[in-house]
Structure 1
Amino acid sequence: MLLSKEGVYILENLEGDPKWWGGRIPDALLINETHPEKLKLWKRKRLLPLLNKLLFPACWSLLLLALGILFTLLDHRTNFSELIGATLLLMAPISLGLSIIHITNSHEDSKPVLVLTRMLSNTRIMWFLISIGLFLIGLIIRPVNIMFWNLMIIPSFILWLEWFVFGSFYFSSPGAVWLIKYNPKKDLPMEKLIENGWEWVPDKLNPVNSPIAIKKSKNSILELSSLKYNDAYFLILSWWQNGGVRHDPFVSQKLRGLAVPSLTKRFGYNISDFNLNMLDGIEFLEKYYSNQR
């Protein structure tokens, strides 16, 4: 549910807390936001920026990685323990990955399982398994070959870098959901939505506190869901990225994916374009809108 940390629905704080941006909402954000005609009655609810929350865990995990490399490279010349080095090498990317999942939970109605799934997709699952496998071999067999311990640096470093780029990319775009109060007494227009490319999710026509319909594109999913709080009912539009994080689809691209763009592009990350045709079918919901306050 879209609840605050205190469990109270915040409809009056749609603009977001100025403290999120250091005291005031940036002018660059305000002038680069748009409001599409099909959502003229809907309200934008800005979500907490996540990128600044990544700074500390990124620095901390990088320190673990550096110490692990140091212990691993120097173990044959000093009394440093190669097993301590291997442990630090494994902890570095894992601590960063867990921090990314924790940070996404700063948003209401987050999807940590989806984030974890995406973090382990492509070659990242391979590097993760290699790191775990090498660590277990080192823990059980304790090889005396120095090259074995040095080899552990490669998958740990690559995995740390992969997850750093993952978090930097998905956390560096403004997040928001769109919402409007509605009257739930009538069945929603399932057939009209399906005709316009939506996939109906529930097994009933008037779901509450659940997804209603989704529309998929190459790198994102537009989700229509419902929420009941006290006596008020809300329709909510969320634009989920492949990484399991919501972005605001109606913000200029110049404000999206700003963190280390050269590195994120090198790793194959591209900013998703929102096609306004994704909103087709939303107009059939207008007769359900409510004037409740």
Structure 2
Amino acid sequence: MKRMRVPFLPAIVALLAVLAAFPILTNNPSMREELFLVFMLVTLASSINIIMGYTGYVSFGHIVFFGLGGYFAFYLMQIQGWHFIPSLIVAAIPSAVIAALIGFPILRLRGAYFALATVGINEAMRVVFNNWDLFGGAVGMFFNFSVYTQYGGAKAASELAYYTMTVVAIATITVSYLIKRSKFGLALMAIREDQDVAMIVGIRPSRPKIAAYVISAVFPAMAGATFFFKNGIIEPGHAFELLRSIESLVMVVLGGIGTVAGPIVGAAAYEWLRGFLITNPALANFQLFLAGLLLLVTVLFVSSGLVGWLRERFPVLRSYVP
């Protein structure tokens, strides 16, 4: 067990750091944009894996925290004149509080009932912000470009967002890894396998589940704050886009549910596939169909995901790739 603890986390952090530095050192803006999206998807997939992979609760509406983080950070920067970094940190707090409040009732549900409840919450939040004038209503909010002057211009602000997303992705992976290696993680996985048996052996499910839900809400909020800071515009349809949440689930399943490395591999593979489909005129209109087909094939034939399949084919990886 100690062998696994030493190499994986430093190795993945070093890999992401090298990848993050490469487009800046080579002055390659297009690669920077691609990696920004990959790091964002890694954050979303890894965070949803905490509640889905470790705890067994499939959250179809998890993107609600991405939108909340984006809106609260945008408000602090645009209306209150805050700097991006403190806005990013503070915006995660309302998402965590809301996750705790809604976690009490909905985490009592199981299976499809929980999944449908999360969809309902996401859609309800979209309607709320669509009619909330404080946050721009249906039109949303957008930056005056003068906002970027305190960062040295739009280009420098974009680079700041890129490095911030890298840090958020690394933080998400680190927390996911530490949870899996902890007693808290063992409690979550016991709940996932059989909640009733977990209760019999002395685990009180409500607290670990709510804690996992809150933790899994913080990182999407930070990712949303960073994404919309970079974009300079936010509106309800984009902030609470259900498709993005479903794509995150596909990435987790593709990479390997309940593994630390799975969401990383799944996010990278899915983004590569999506890029291939978008740039291919004959397949561009079939993106969602092919994503669904990929999910179906993965569930039917490679249920453990790409990471699980690799660990089965090469047993030595089990000691190094959690």
**After TM superposition, is the score higher than 0.5?**
no
Larger Rg: 1
Larger RCO (alpha carbons 8 Å, 6+ apart) = 2
Q: Which has the higher strand share?
A: 1
Q: TM-score, normalised by structure 1?
A: 0.30
